[in-house]
Amino acid sequence: MTPEAFAALTGAGDRALADLEIYRSRLEDWNQRMNLVGPATLPDFWSRHALDSAQLLPLAPEALTWADLGTGAGLPGIVLAILSRGRPGFHVHLVESVAKRCRFLEAVTHELGLPATVHNARAEALDLSVDIVTSRACAPLVRLLGYARPYFRRGAGALFLKGQDVVAEIEVATRSWDFEVDILPSLSDGRGRILCIRSSGRGPRR
């Protein structure tokens, strides 16, 4: 996918494309020194990473505050912040427990002046009220629901990017948790799925 094709699909403007190119460049550079993303995925940045992240925005058009749990390299959080810069009240919390990854996230968000805050913490330890929690390649769903539980209690919904084993993950998670979920196809990968989750608020089953 080219930047032009990405822009056609997402409506991204020139500044967003320029910022995404800077992000791609910094990701490539830092990835040589630490494990941020699989090196083989970088040549397909615009589809594999940018579009994969950007497709979440139309699914929650009213959401202003997001928490990206286990954000790692900032996916999808940094992409969401780049595309939503200038939208009044929009903010992304980038939650990452590994300090060296947080250094990368802080460098990028500072350079680009993004509406984002980096939290070097475990997701379940934070006291944040947000509209949406999201995550990509962070943990199996049964664990991810535990990380997200404090946010669900404050009224958040969730959009989780998942792979082809999502049905099995849901089956395992339903043995421990009560939740409602819609499974949507991914625009960036025919094997991928997006889980739209609404928690019942009752916590884990016993």
pLDDT tens digits along 81-129: 999 999 999 999 999 999 999 999 999 999 999 999 999 999 999 989 9
Nearest to 56 by CA among 74, 80, 78: 80
In Å, how far are 7, 17, 19, 89 from 14, measured between CA atoms?
Answer: 9, 5, 9, 22
CA distance 84 to 95: 18
Identify residue 99 by its one-letter amino acid code. Answer: A
Local structure of residue 90 (DSSP, 8 states): -
Q: At residue 138, does pLDDT exceed 90? A: no
Helix (H, G, I), strand (E, B) or coil at 58: helix
Asked whether the bond before 185 is cis by omega within 30 degrees of 0, the reply is: no
CA distance 162 to 182: 12
Q: Which two tokens stand for residue 63?
A: 């959401």
> Using one digit for the tens of pLDDT, what is the confidence trace for 61-88?
999 999 999 999 999 999 999 999 999 9
Nearest to 84 by CA among 69, 63, 102: 63
CA distance 181 to 196: 5
pLDDT at 35: 87
pLDDT at 95: 98
Phi, psi of 197 (to 5 degrees): -115, 135
CA distance 205 to 176: 5
What pTM, to 2 d.p., does this model score? 0.93
Residue with tokens 């791609």: 24
Contact 65, 130 (CB under 8 A): yes
